[in-house]
Structures are given as C-alpha cells and as structure tokens.
Structure 1
Amino acid sequence: MANFLAGIFILLCLVNRYLSAEIPSVTTALGTITGATKRVVFQKKPYDVDRYLGIPYAKPPTGELRFKRPEPYGPFPGAYSATNFGLSCPQHLFLPVMAEEQTSEDCLFLNIYVPRQEPDQPSGHAIMFFIHGGGFTMGSGKIYDGGVLSSVGNVIVVTINYRLGLLGFLDIDNVKSSGNFGLFDQRLALQWVNENIGAFGGDKDRVTIFGESAGSISVSLQMMFPQNEGLFRSGISESGALTLPGLFLENNIEAAKYFAENMSCSVEDMDEVFSCLQSATPESIIKVVADAVASGGMAASVKVGSSPTIDGEFIKTNPADLYRKAVTGESEEINFFRTRKLMNGVNGKEGAMFLMMLGSDNLDELEITREQMNTQQIPGATAVVYGQRTVPEVVKQLLIAEYTDWENPDDPKKLREQVVRLFGDIYFNVPAIEMSRIHSNASNVDSYLYNFVPVLDKRLLPTPNWVNMSNHGDELGPVFGYNFDFEALLNISDYTPPEWELEMSERMMAYWTNFAKTGDPNKPVSDAVSSVVWPKYDITSQSYIKFDRKDSFGQYLFARETDFWKNTLSAVFDATEVPTTITSLYGSKDEQTCEKDGTCG
C-alpha cells in the first residue's frame, strides 16, 4: 500500500511538472496571468520559453479617451489568459507581414518572453524592452518574436504596441489634443514593467530599452525625459537619432486639417476639426492615409504624417538643437541622457531605403543622371536639412562637389551610389554620430558605437544588388536570432540563414544581452564574444565595432561627414552675407544672386 501511495505521489508530481511547463502562470498585484510555453531552436539547440502575450497595460484609448494620454488598465477582473497577441493599432498596412492583419484602437498591449533558465543574478533576469519602428505610422510588437533572444541571451524580452499616426500624435496646440500620446503609451508600458516584472522573475533595476528606426528615436526621447528616472538604466538605439532633420514640428495642425477636409468636415475652426477627428471611425482616418499614398506615392504621405511634436513637456525644445545646446550650455534633458548607458549604431548603407521612393520598378537597373542629381536630389536634401530657409548657391555647390565620384563624375551608376550616401548621411549617419558625441562628452559615461555592414542573404527591405552593404533594418534579423515569419515577411518558406549569419547573430545577441545584464557588452565573457573586446566610444578616440562576417574595430566613423554637415556647411551658410554669383561645371546653369538678408533671386 505504501509503495502504491508513493507511486501515486510521484505520478502527481510528474503531472504537476508537466502542467506547469505547459501552462506557466504568475501572480501580480493586478491579478493572475497565465501564458504558454513554446519551444524555439537556435543553432540546432532547443530552448523552452514562457510567453505571456497580449497583456493590456492601458485602458482602450477609444471614445473620450481618444487623443488623451493613456490611463492604466488596472486590475484584471479574473485570471487573465495571455496566450494570444492583442490586435495592432490602426495603420495603413505597408508591410507584407501586416497585410492580412486586423487592427483596432483597443491595441495597447505588451508581450513578455521569459527564459526557462536560472537568471544570471539572484535579483532576477535583466529585461530588454523593445520599441518597434515604422516611422511612427505602422508596426506592432507581435512582429518581433523575442523567444530566441530571450532564450539564447537569458534575459526577459518585452515588446509593446503604442498608438500610431494621427491617433498617436495629433497636436493641435491646445489642451484638447497636445500630442505625443504614443510616447506616453511607451512610458506607461515601462511603468507597468517596473511595477510588475518582478512577478515574472525580472529585475526592475536592470531594464534596457531598445528600438529600431522610429523605435530608436523613441528610445532617445525616453532617455531625454528626466521623469523616467528609475524606469530603465540603459538604451540601445538602432538606426535612428533625435537630431534627424525635419522630423519634429511645433504641431501638426496642417495634417489635422488635411484629414478633416478629406472627411468632408469644416476646417475653418480648430474646435470643429477636433470634433470631426474625435468622432471619426479609425477606418475613415486610415482611409485618408491610404488614399494619399495611392494618389501620390510616398511623397504624398508627408501630408498625412503625424509624428512626435515639440509639446513643451515630453519634448521641450527642438531636438535638432541638441548638439549646439550640449556644447554651449547646461540642459536637464542632456544631463539625464548622460546618466543612462548607451549603445548606438547605424547600418552600412542606410540611405538605400529611400531608393523605393524614386519610382523605379527595377532598382537593380536604376540610374541617376547629373541633371537629376543637381536639380532634384541635392535640392531635396537641402529642403530636408534647411526647411524654408533660402539656401545659398555656394552651399549647393559644396554639396554637389561632396557627393560626386570625381573619377567618374557623370556616371549614372556612380551617381546612384552618391544618392544613397547623401540620404544616409542626412537621415542616419550624421545624427547618430551627433548623438554619440553628445552622450559621451562627459565623465564616467558608458557609451558604445557600432556599424553593421554585411550584405545578408535575405534583405528586410527591397534592395538592389549593387548596394554593397546592409540596408536599413537588416540588423533586426541577427538581433532577434532570425526568429521571424519569413514566409509572411519575405514570401519564402523553409528558410535557414547561412551559417556565417547565424554565427554573427550569436555574437550580436551576446553583446546586446550582455549590455542589458551588466552595462558592458563584453561582460559576462562568453565563447561568442571572448575573442573580441568592444571599446567604449569617446570624442577623442571615437572607437567603434564593425559587425560583418568577421567583426573588427575602427575609429572616426562618419567623422568627416559629420564635420562637413555640422561645421563646414554651417560656417559657409552663415558667412554668405554678400551678393554673389557662382557658376560651376557641375552646378545649375542658372546664375543666382543672394542678397545680404539671405534671399536669392
């Protein structure tokens, strides 16, 4: 009888272990949350990871809560089943992976991936909190499955949704809608993690926020908001920095009027515009975006663009002025930024993403003429950087000279490469170096810089064969251990990346998760990183790591380009105070005279 009872007891223990493995559960101050365990494989090694998906962190921002800051969801009425992703926020579906997805305003969810391993410290697992990109207009947390990164790196990974486009950033410059709701969504999700991640085995004092593109800009904005003290200790910015020109406006009233007008509402009074947008269905708002893009391509999307604005609270001054402010005076935002640890980087040919906007059906055969370079691309660049300011002809000539291959100045194939370089420098390279210089120009700062350059077997964005380095977004595959739905994303099935990419992915995941654990990408030492030490970045040595088939180190990444844009061009621009007539073999044939006040005729 005793043996029988002992057998029953052992059987019950085994069943309990089996059930607990299949149905993970945690008890938080908000109630019980149940998830599910999934097996993932990386480099032929299996891992079990507990997934808690679609957890609401805020009340649905619908009805009277639309165009308002998020409110905490509060306690769950009963045990919450977190086994399915929540719906994504309303958006025009550019990406193939989103093409069949339903969206809803009730979209403020987060997802948590917990490794089935002992944490690296008794205080619990380090946390990596990911903010997705998509130009503040598209994307969701579900696209980025954190299971492999969590398991291989032995950290907790959190991904989130936040409000996008007009619904996330409407700013009509008054109390009815002051903008930046998407940023406050991100912050509320961080507060939720701070208050509840301990129940999942996480260490709330070791939170690293990381993001790509618009998510990277979001990381920088959160790192510049002093009220975030205590919510995270470090940030990783992948391909996106605050000093990107032309991104931040005082408000987006003109975009609001465009939406209202295209929904047959009055635009004479902003109260009427707000009432129109407040009562509109999300479908009708997204239709305006879809119609604008359909009629005028990506260029027309500027009319309906809604991104973070200078609201006087979350963003007090134009981030484009940060570099100057960091040099000339004190700033509470910059001081807080420097108390956080930073990993920052860009890819080899970020500007290649803009080739999609040139209207060519065959990017492999794309060619740019000298006339197109001088009359379209260079003026387009100056419009981005200088806005409505009149650009002196001498500045245009300097730009033409800088972005010319002088061995083959009129070669259409060389010129297309210069276009990639031009827009890569403007939107990514120079802003990234500015951010690292701002951050590292202080004592006792942990700052790291990388350049991701390899040509991957499968690109994330449409990229012509002649682009000989990585395009925008290409690092996401290695960072997440290639744990993507390749069939949905790239229309390929049964895909396995080449071995050298998987080895590089293992190294990068080690660096990323080491940084989350210790604040140093080199520690703890592992087989993946033991032979390579990533040096700190400072304004003197300007050292960085280059990720490729074999990693290496360099100095002065984009230092020349940064000096050209921030010092040379600025000095020439400011010095051009007298009337002048300029001609150039490769410049515009039209002569232009600039008056002392800067106007040109």
Structure 2
Amino acid sequence: MTCLARRDTAVTGQKPLTLSSLPITFTVYKNHPPYIWPECSVRLPSELKMADCPEESSATFSCRLNLVSEMSALLSLLAATLVLVANVYSQDLTVELDQGIIQGSVGSTVSGVTFYSFLGIPYAQPPVGELRFKAPQEAPSWEGVRDASTVGSNCVQVEGSVEGSEDCLFINVYTPQLPGVKDACSLLPVMVWIHGGGLISGSGDPSLYGPGYLLDREIVFVTFNYRLGALGTVLVTFNYLLGALGTVLVTFNYRLGALGTVLFTFNYLFGALGTVLVTFNYLFGALGTVLVTFNYLLGVLGTVLITFNYLFGALGNILVTFNYLFGALGFLGLSHSEVSLNNGLKDQRAALRWVQQNIERFGGDPARTTIFGESSGAASVEYFMLSPSTSVNFIPCCVFTGLFQRAISQSGSVLNPWAYVDTTSAQIRARQLTRLLGYTAEDNDDIYNFLMGASAENITLQQSNVTTERRASESLAFVPTVERETGSGGEVFLPATPLEILKSGNFTRVPYITGFCSAEGKATIPPNTWDQVNNDFEGFLPYDLNLTIGTTESQHAAALVKKTYFGNETASIANVEQYIKLLTDTIILEGVLRMVNFRLRYNSAPIYVYQFSYEGRLRAAHADDLGYLFTTRFDHEELESNSTELTTIDRLATLWTNFAKSRDLGEGLDLPWDPVEESKQTYLDINTDLSVHNLLELHPERRAIWGALYSDVDN
C-alpha cells in the first residue's frame, strides 16, 4: 500500500483549497480493507514527500513524513492540513439539486464504515390547506443552503397521543460516496425502503430502520415518509434498513417523519517522529458511503441506502427512505371530484420519481434501483408492479429504465385481504369517519367541505374507530381502492382491482423476492377471541373468498377450515398454536403464495421465495426479521462475534444486497438460491442454517384447503 502524496494528483469531485500558498486536497480511502481511514492526497511543497506505509500497518494509518526541511515547516504543514481537512468535509458535504443546495453530515456503520447522510429533503409540496386529499405536487425550492442533517416530521399518527404533521413528505439518502461522482461506472446500486405500519403509522426514522448493517455492502439507501390513514386515503410507509460497503442510503418521508442527525469527529495524533494519524469517525456511516434518508437513518461501509421509511443496505448500494401519507389522510375513499384516491401510493410514486431525477448526484445509479418493504410496505411494492404509471418490463440481458428494476416484498401482498377495499366499502368508511367526527350530512360536497376544515388530529384519532365489514381478515379501514376517474388526482395509480390486473397479465415483471416469517400470526390475543372462534367462525374467513355470511356455502367453508386447524377440539389457550397458524395463513401466507402462482403464469423474470424461521432473542413473528436487517432503538445488547444472531444479520444483508447488485444471491454463503419455476418450486429457509426445500411440501394440508377455496376466485 502506498499513501498518496503526488504533487500532480487531482482528486475527482474535490475542489483544491488554498491556505496561504499551500493547496491541499484529499479523497476518501475506500478500496483497501481492512483500513477504515480516509486516504489523504496532499499536494506537498517540493521539500516534503510521503513515504510508503509499512506493510504491517493495519490498526493505524500512520504514513511517515520524510523530513527534508526544518521541523517548523512540518508543524506548519500539519496545522494547515488539519484545518483544511475539516473545511473540506464541511464544504464538500453539499449537494446541488434543482430545488436548491443541501448540506449533509457524516456517520458510520456498526462496523465503523463511513457514510454520508442527507435527511429531511422535501420530495413534494406539503399536502396542507387546499392540497389536503390532493395528489402530491412538485417539490418546493429554497434559497441558500438547506440543513439536511436532521430528519423531517413524521406523518400524522397515533403513538399514545397524536404526533407528527401533515407537512411530512421528506426523503432521506445515505451514501458511502462523497457527492459529486461523475463517472457512471462508479455509481452504486440504490435500495429504497417502504416502511410498514398498517397504512396508519410508521416512518423512515433511523431509530426504527437504521442502516448500520446494510451500508457495509456498498449500496445507496433511501427512505421516505408518505401520507397515512384517511388523510392519504392510506398511509403507506417505507421503513427499511439497508447498509453496505460503497453504498448510498437514501430515505424519505411519505407523510410521516424521521430523525436524522449525523455526528462526525476528527482525531489527529502527532508523533515525535513526524507521523500524522488522521481518523474520521462517523456515527451511522461507513467509508465511502453516503447515507440519505427520508425519516430513516441507516449506515453501511461504502454504501448508499435509499428507503421509503424503511432502511436496508448492501455492499455497493445506495439506501433511500421516505415518508408518505397513510390512514384517512392518505387513503380517504370519498367519491368527489376534488379528492384524489390512493394518495399514500402517489406519495411513494413521487418519491421514486425524485430518486430517479436526483440519486446520481449522491453516487447512486438510477438504472439499478431496488424497492423493498415489509407488511403494508411489501403490499406497496406489489402495487407498484401493478400500476401502469410505474411499470416497466424486464428483458433478460438488456438494460431497461423505469422507477425501479428489482423488488423485494417481506411479509405482505396486495392479495392479503387487508390490503385492498372495493370502492363501495371505501365510500361507506369515509361517511362513517365523518359521523364519528360529529357531522351527519350525506351529500358528498358537504362531507368534503367538512373534512377539509377538520383538524388532522381529530381525523387521525377517529379513523381507528371506523369498523370494517369483516373482523380478523380485514382489519384496516383506509387502504388502496380502484380509481375509475382521475378527478383532481392526476395520473391514475390503480385502474382496476389487483385480481383483475393479475388475471390480465398486464403487470410489471422484474426480478422479485417475496417471503414470510414462519409464525406471522403471533400477536396479542383479545379476551373474546375464543368465543369468536368457537361460535362465529365465519368471521375469520377472508372476505375476498366472496362468500356471504349465513349462506350454506359460507357455513360449509367455515366448518371445513375450522376442522383443518382445530380438529374436533374447542379453541382455547391450550391449542393457541393452531390459532397462530390460522392467522399466519389467512393474513399473510396465502396472499404471498397466490401472488407467486400468478407470476408463474406469466413468468419472464426470476422469482425467489424464502421463509424466515430463525428464532434468537427475536422470534419469527411478523416483522421480527427486520431486527436482522436494520439497527433500531430497541437494540440494547452487543452481539457476540460468533453468535448465530450475528450470522443471521450477515446472511440477510448479503442476500438482499447481492440481489440489488444483480449478483448470484448465494454468493458468499455457499448455498445456491434458485428462482421458482413451474417444474421446480423451491424456497430458501432462513434458520440457524440455510436450507432449500420444496415449496409444494410446505404445510400441504392447510394449503390444499385454501387452494380449493380460492380456485374459483383466481381462475
């Protein structure tokens, strides 16, 4: 290894600074593990030069200066170097967008890799005042330099009390590369996280979806907020954590919010023999990494992480996160010319368009963008594959463009019964919300005017009291619905039902990972659960079976399903595991696997299926896998270097970032993970060990029952 100190060195993307007559530049040292120190490239006076670093240098980066002039000259040089290095980092962490200039900050990953984060960047106009219930509008601009070291506000939601703001459409970007990369060959893959939260809560906050694991793998990470609940017709969040060496993390808020500060320090050690030791420590970061988040902060070595309120990362990637509106503020289903439907999804689309237009300025490659999400975020990922306004088809061996080129859904699907509502039910729920707010008019014009004047706090408080037509299988009131006309919503996002689009084959086909946790149904059990299971089991049948409660057909189906899970036993805490299996299948698993079958009908891009069944301190319940992808505020104990938990973290981050980089998914893990085919349906089981199994042999008795019940629906 040789320390750079050539007088003719020009550092790409860096402007030489001058102090008196001494010009000094430097660049990040990112291509020579295991060092995590920056590489200094100093244009020295002719009297001074840098000597080769000794081969044994590993714990420190201490290249000796050969003293040819007076010691006073050396001390002056060192002092100037320190001042200038600090100034370079302060000045070079700016990015010029079409909207204006932003000033970012520096962080480091769990392993100490440096990254750069740019937080709280508006990706659309605040949806306030006359813009409430409207589709997102073009992002605002600003004068001067905008501070991008902290996240923007979360979208309005209830966390004990109402918190957040309607002004919440922010995106966050995390990258392992200093801004200003111009060489297209140096651009990193981008991962954009869409957070979950039932479309009524969540954000890209790094305290939930930190990039500390994923940005060690050279990606860019992005997160964002989007509108939730009734104020967005549905709030969809992208909370994802990714991180990796050479990765950029980008995150944004989609009418939600996220914290996002980065602390960096410079420690300089001077030795008697003329040695200079310069180290940069970044919280939430990695060497050569840019971290950008919209309500989510993550970090990884040399990684850019892009997420939508979700943080993930990978070697050589960028992570992006953002906020979007959810709940009634994001998914109000009122039929009115001034109400845009599916605003939470449209927020997400606006965030993805922002990424395509801007991510190259953070070192990310817009043509290598992976979107991923969990739960309602996973369903959002699939909605993007169904929407004609975002679709792009995959052509093997060819380069293609679009809002995204790869996709990952974790524990969620548009075919889950909670993920979609018909337009009639959406209208009923909008009227019910209005009555809960104390207004009894039936005219849609009057209802619209009333809701425009209602406080976001009251709307958010009351939306959770809106009841749905079914119980267990359809628990979310404000979710996506069909748009027959644009109204004031601009481009239609969902022109037909998910099932109609899937049957037609007119959906985006890109490389895709989908999967589930082995115990999705583990949850708090309400006191009256056993009475409902034993005496009113029809209420547990998924509504999308299109069965009318009380009919012979519905009663027969209920009896068949109940016998499959409970036999002749009375449901109780004694056989609670059977109840967990019932919820796992009806709420998550069947929708995920039905989507796999639909994609196989029109297969032109690879599909990978996994099951997460590892149980460490976390179990394998819904969302437990996220603890192995993201650093969170709930992490209290350091993991032992040889623990199976640390191994699981490494495996998940490697699999996801390999996928984002278009690599063999099993690279580095000594296990092939092949795509699903009609003739060879396999899945990867992620447990203490990785293993491959036959998908057709997964819970065969349970799946046979649901296959028979859904056969008329899906064909």
Q: So what's the TM-score if we normalise by structure 1?
A: 0.79
| 2:709 is the alignment partner of 1:569 | yes
Given the alignment of the two structures, is residue 16 of structure 1 paired with residue 84 of structure 2, yes or no? yes
Runs of 5+ in structure 1 lacking a partner? 94-98, 361-367, 460-469, 488-492, 575-601
User: Aligned equivalents of 1:573 and 1:227: distance in 2?
Assistant: 26
2:478 partner letter: S
Work out the CA distance in 2 between the residues paired with 1:395 and 1:137.
32
Residues 1:80 and 2:165 aligned together: no
What do residues 552-595 of structure 1 show as CA deviations (whole Å, max 9, x unaligned)? 11111547368535542356999xxxxxxxxxxxxxxxxxxxxx
**CA offset digits 1:203-258 (Å, max 9, x no partner):** 01000000000000000001222322411101000000111125422332222222
Runs of 4+ residues over 6 Å off in structure 1: 4-7, 117-121, 298-304, 571-574
Cα distance in structure 2, aligned partners of 1:113 and 1:101:
29
Asked if residue 446 in structure 1 is aligned to residue 611 in structure 2, the reply is no
Mind listing any 5+ residue stretches in structure 2 that lack a counterpart? 1-44, 48-68, 217-243, 245-313, 393-401, 485-491
Q: Percent identity between the aligned chains?
A: 30
Letter aligned with residue 595 of structure 2: M
Residue 514 of structure 2 corresponds to residue 344 of structure 1:
yes
How far does the alpha carbon of each residue in 1:449-473 deviate from its partner, in whole angstroms, 9 at most, with x for none? 10001223035xxxxxxxxxx1000
Deviations 1:368-416 (A, max 9, x none): 86x753423454225574364634433222212211357xx45745632
Aligned to 1:146: 211
Amino acid across the alignment from 1:204: P
Whether contact under 8 Å (2:538, 2:554) holds in the other structure is: no
Choose which of 7, 26, 31 in structure 1 pairs with 2:95. Answer: 26
Q: Is the 8 A contact 2:95 2:101 kept in 1?
A: yes
Deviations 1:118-156 (A, max 9, x none): 999824110000000011110011131224312332321
Indicate which of 495, 498, 509 corresponds to 1:319. 498
Q: If each structure's helix is expressed as a fraction of its own residues, which one has the higher value?
A: 1
Are 1:239 and 2:399 matched, yes or no? no
Distance across 2 between alignment mates of 1:422 and 1:447: 26
Measured in 2, the distance between the counterparts of 1:341 and 1:178 equals 31
Instruction: Give 1:560's aligned residue.
Output: 700
Q: Structure 1 residues 569, 374: closer, same or farther in 2, change over 3 A?
A: farther
Aligned length: 520
Aligned residue for 2:441?
A: 267
Alignment partner, residue 472 of structure 1: 622
- Name the CA shift for 1:443/1:220 in 2 (closer, same or farther; >3 Å): closer
**d(CA) in 2 for partners of 1:91, 1:34:** 29
The amino acid across from 2:646 in the alignment is L
Matched, 1:310 2:482: yes
1:26-425 aligned at under 5 Å gives the runs 26-41=95-110, 45-93=111-159, 102-116=163-177, 122-142=185-205, 143-151=208-216, 152=244, 153-154=314-315, 155-228=317-390, 229=392, 230-245=402-417, 247-251=419-423, 252-289=426-463, 292=465, 305-312=477-484, 313-321=492-500, 325=503, 330-333=504-507, 336=508, 338=509, 340-353=510-523, 356-359=524-527, 373-381=533-541, 383=543, 385-386=545-546, 388=548, 390=551, 391-404=553-566, 409-410=569-570, 412-413=572-573, 415-425=575-585
CA RMSD of aligned residues (A): 3.2
CA distance in 1, matches of 2:562, 2:471: 23
Aligned partner of 1:499 among 643, 646, 650: 643
Deviation at 1:117, TM superposition (A): 8.9
Letter in 2 for 1:514: N
Amino acid across the alignment from 2:513: M
> C-alpha distance in 1, partners of 2:385/2:166?
27
Give SS of 1:89's match: coil
Name the structure where strand makes up a greater proportion of residues. 2
Seen in structure 2, the aligned counterparts of structure 1 residues 184 and 565 have a Cα distance that, compared at 3 Å, is: farther
1:520-564 deviation digits (Å, cap 9, x = unpaired): 423xx33xx2x1111111232111110011111111154736853
1:588 paired residue number: none
d(CA) in 2 for partners of 1:572 and 1:196? 46
Does the aligned pair in 1 maintain the 2:213–2:629 contact within 8 Å? Answer: no
Contact 1:169 1:308 in 2 (8 A): yes
How far apart are residue 519 of structure 1 and its match?
5.8
Q: How far is 1:170 from its partner?
A: 1.1
Amino acid at match of 1:358: P
Compared CA separation, residues 266 and 453, structure 1 to 2 (3 A): same
Larger radius of gyration: 2
Which residue number in structure 2 is paired with residue 486 of structure 1? 634
| Residues 380, 411 of structure 1: alpha-carbon distance in 2 compared, 3 angstrom cutoff | closer
How many angstroms does 1:418 deviate by?
1.6
- CA 1:253/1:571 → structure 2, altered by over 3 Å: closer, same or farther? closer
Post-superposition CA distance 1:489-545 (Å, at most 9, x none): xxxx455488211111101101101111116423xx33xx2x111111123211111
* Pairwise CA distance, 1:157: 0.8
The alignment partner of 1:351 has SS state of: coil
Question: In 1, are the aligned partners of 2:408 and 2:514 still within 8 Å (CA)?
Answer: yes
1:547 match: 686
C-alpha separation between the residues in 1 aligned to 2:427 and 2:711? 33
